[in-house]
Structures are given as C-alpha cells and as structure tokens.
C-alpha cells in the first residue's frame, strides 16, 4: 500500500480524487488538506462522501504521504513541488505550472515562474503519448480537459505527419470552471450557451500546439523534452448548460489525400492498445463517458468539401482531470493502468 495525499481537497479535482482513491486497492489515502476547511470534517465540503476523517494541514499531508496530488489553482504548485521533491516525495500536479516551459508559461499565464529548473524534470502526464516516461517520474504535469480531448483527437494525424493546423471548437460543461467559478450561476447558465475567451487567448492553446507539434517532430512515442514541430490552431471554447462533459469538434488542416476508410484505419491502429480510448462507430456524445475515464473519438471525412473533422468526448473531471491523475499514479507505481478507473460511464 502506497501512502498518498491530496493538497487542495475541497475543489472539484480534489473531491474526485478522494472518491477515486478511497476505492483504490493499491493505495492508502493518508491525508487531504484544504486551507478553507482545515480541521473540519469531510462533510463540510462534500455532501456526497460518507464522512470519515477531517481535512488536515498541508504540512501533515506533505509529511505523511509518499505520493502527493496537488489540486490547486495555478501558481501554487510551483512553490510546493520543490519542497515535496526535496523530502523524497513524488508529485502529480493537476495545475498548469509544469506543463509549459517557464517562459511560455509566463507569457500565457502572466505569473512569474518560481521553479523554472523543475520544468526540465517534469513528465507530461498524458499516458496515451508519454506512457514510457511515467514509470520513473518524480514530477508529473497532469494535463486538463480541453487539452486532453483536443490532443487525442488529432494525435494520429500529427504522428502521421499530416497535421498542419486546426480549428477546434471546445464545448464544456460548467464544472470545468471550477467550484464557484466566475459567471456560473445557475439562472444565467441554464438555457444559455455562449462562447468565451475566443480570439487566440485561451491558456491551453500553447499546450495543444506543443503536444501535437511533438508528435509531428518525434512520431510516437514522444518525449516531453524532445523536439517540437509547428502546428497552429484556433481554439474556440464555449460554455454549455451541463455540469460534466466536454466535446471538441475539430476541423483538421491536413496534407495528403484522405477518405473515411484511411481515417478509420489510422485512428483504430493508433489507439488499438489503449484501455481508455475508444474509436466509436456512432458520433461521440459526452454522456457516454460520464463518470468514466474514457475518451470517445470519431474521425470523419466529409466528401462534399474534402474536409477532415474529428469529434472527441470525455468527462472533464475524470479523464480530463482526476481520473487521468490516477492513471498517471498507476503508471508511476507500476500498477495495472486501469486500477480504480471505470471504463464504463453512467447512463442516463
């Protein structure tokens, strides 16, 4: 039994981690902390969890756990990760702090990076592409929902050398904005649909472009710190009146001649061994992945216009967040990758 802990356990990522880890046979959840709820029972933050234990302090978690999940707002992991690593702990960071080179991070996030040296060591935690690097990782940068969906939607085309760019429409449930996210009051989100952060300003754009650029330059498997080719994409996110789930609908700008058969073969081959990626016959729908760690992907060739499109759906709090972090944990610990991670969703 490996001792694990969670720092930032009262946000949605933290709550999902508690739920998944409590049912994980290979780990013991030795502590979870929340500045806001320190010392209080679990029920102070979480009506859905049977009340056992209390929120501890950050220090307690740092001391007691061997592997630490950081589920914090951007800018905090870069302060905590060095301390944890110094004390011999391993870290899975759910924020954006170690996903980008410090100079890129600073320009997109507007936050000075306090641990630039650690970036060189961080492994990018997208198991489908970086599985080989994760076994020995001390610090994992766990990617988020939009990036996971968009990257996996286009990875086969990028690895094939065919991808030049993309117009990606992101459609997200409201929980993607975090607990008490700005502008997410029910009365104004319900029966409403709106784009936001359009125009090339969303922080996840450089991460998507780098992920796909790595595949273009390296083929598969990719190394986090290997060469990166150029992919330029537009990302157009929208807020959808639902709690969980994201769908990306992507128009891929590609070279070469494609048709439905070639796309199907490329995608089925590329993901043939993946436990959590399913190439669907039907069009993906978010509910099909609800509460599961699965991604449903469908490439489509539109003969009428010659366009190549891809659809990808996942649960933003599981495969797009906490489930992916547990998948990374399993790989770091050498456990079966699927441990404690449902492949099947909740319906209806």
Could you list the active site residues?
145
Give residues 152-171 in contact with a copy of itself (rule: CB under 8 A): 165, 167, 169, 171
Q: What spatial distance separates the first Cα and last Cα of the chain, rounded to whole Å? A: 35
- Of 40 and 120, nearer to a copy of itself (C-beta) is 40
Least distance from a copy of itself to the Cβ atom of residue 234, Å: 5
Cβ neighbours, 10 Å, residue 201 = 9
Judged by CB under 8 A, the residue of 245, 299, 320, 323 near a copy of itself is: 245
Strands 139-141 and 277-279: unpaired
SS3 205: helix
Give residues 172-211 in contact with a copy of itself (rule: CB under 8 A): 173-175, 177, 179-181, 184-196, 198-200
Least distance from a copy of itself to the Cβ atom of residue 164, Å: 12
The dihedral through the CA atoms of 14, 49, 174, 250 has a sign that is positive
Asked if residue 61 lies in contact with residue 5, where contact means CB atoms within 8 angstroms, the answer is: yes
Task: Read off φ and ψ for residue 269, nearest 5 degrees.
Answer: -65, -45
Q: Is residue 10 close enough to count as binding a copy of itself by CB under 8 A?
A: no
Q: Is residue 233 close enough to count as binding a copy of itself by CB under 8 A?
A: yes
Q: Is residue 125 close enough to count as binding a copy of itself by CB under 8 A?
A: no
- Of 135 and 193, nearer to a copy of itself (C-beta) is 193
Give residues 324-343 in contact with a copy of itself (rule: CB under 8 A): 342-343
Give residues 278-297 in contact with a copy of itself (rule: CB under 8 A): 278, 281-292, 294
Q: Is residue 249 close enough to count as binding a copy of itself by CB under 8 A?
A: yes
SS3 175: helix
Least distance from a copy of itself to the Cβ atom of residue 17, Å: 12
Judged by CB under 8 A, the residue of 110, 227, 336, 346 near a copy of itself is: 346
Question: CB-based contacts of 28: which residues, under 8 Å, 6+ apart?
Answer: 1, 2, 3, 4
Q: Which residue has the tokens 């125009």?
A: 199
Q: What whole-number distance in Å separates Cα of residue 99 and Cα of residue 288? A: 28
């Amino acid at each position: 039994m490996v001792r694990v802990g969670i720092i930032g356990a009262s946000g949605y990522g933290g709550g999902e981690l508690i739920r998944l880890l409590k049912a994980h046979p290979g780990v013991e959840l030795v502590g979870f902390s929340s500045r806001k709820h320190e010392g209080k029972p679990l029920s102070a933050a979480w009506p859905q969890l049977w009340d056992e234990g209390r929120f501890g302090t950050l220090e307690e978690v740092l001391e007691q756990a061997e592997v630490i999940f950081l589920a914090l707002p951007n800018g905090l992991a870069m302060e905590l990760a060095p301390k944890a690593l110094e004390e011999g702990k391993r870290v899975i960071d759910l924020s954006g702090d170690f996903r980008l080179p410090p100079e890129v991070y600073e320009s997109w996030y507007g936050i000075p990076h306090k641990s630039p040296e650690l970036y060189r060591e961080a492994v990018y935690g997208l198991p489908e592409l970086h599985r080989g690097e994760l076994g020995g990782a001390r610090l994992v940068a766990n990617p988020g929902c939009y990036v996971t969906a968009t990257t996996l939607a286009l990875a086969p085309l990028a690895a094939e050398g065919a991808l030049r760019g993309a117009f990606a429409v992101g459609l997200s449930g409201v929980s993607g904005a975090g607990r008490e996210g700005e502008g997410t009051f029910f009365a104004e989100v319900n029966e409403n649909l709106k784009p936001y952060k359009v125009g090339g300003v969303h922080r996840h754009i450089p991460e998507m472009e780098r992920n796909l650029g790595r595949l273009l330059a390296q083929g598969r498997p990719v190394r986090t710190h290997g060469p990166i080719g150029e992919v330029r994409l537009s990302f157009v996110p929208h807020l959808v009146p639902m709690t969980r789930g994201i769908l990306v609908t992507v128009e891929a700008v590609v070279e070469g001649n494609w048709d439905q058969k070639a796309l199907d073969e490329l995608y089925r081959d590329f993901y043939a061994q993946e436990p959590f990626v399913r190439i669907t016959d039907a069009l993906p729908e978010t509910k099909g992945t609800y509460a599961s760690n699965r991604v449903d992907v469908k490439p489509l060739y539109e003969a009428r216009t010659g366009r190549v499109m891809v659809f990808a759906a996942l649960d933003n709090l599981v495969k797009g967040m906490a489930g992916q972090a547990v998948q990374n944990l399993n790989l770091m610990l050498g456990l079966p990758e699927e441990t404690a991670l449902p492949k099947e969703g909740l319906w209806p």
